[in-house]
Amino acid sequence: MDVRQLPRIDLNLLVALQVLIEECNVSKAAERLFITQSAMSKTLLRLRELFVPRQHLWNRYSTGLKESFCSS
């Protein structure tokens, strides 16, 4: 992420990131934020574009999500 982008970050994305990290599940995170699962998935895409455009933030499993930066 380019440091010059920091003033333009949507702070709601950071809230969503925190909830996603806590829940490790898109549907549960969406429920906590009172948004649809579809809206949460779109938020996850925006987070991926913002932080790691060529990598994944999470790995998907049938049991939920696991942060890829912690999985190694």
| Alpha-carbon distances, residue 22 vs 8, 17, 18, 54, 65 (angstroms) | 25, 9, 6, 23, 10
- Strand-pairing partners, residue 60, are 65
The span from the CA of 43 to the CA of 30, in Å, is: 10
How do residues 18-69 score in pLDDT, each as one tens digit? Answer: 999 999 899 999 999 999 999 999 998 888 887 765 556 666 677 776 665 4
CATH architecture of the domain 3-70 equals Orthogonal Bundle (1.10)
Per DSSP bridges, beta strands 64-67 and 58-61 are antiparallel
| For the chain, domain boundaries | 3-70
pTM of the entire predicted model = 0.65
Task: Determine the residue type at 56.
Answer: H
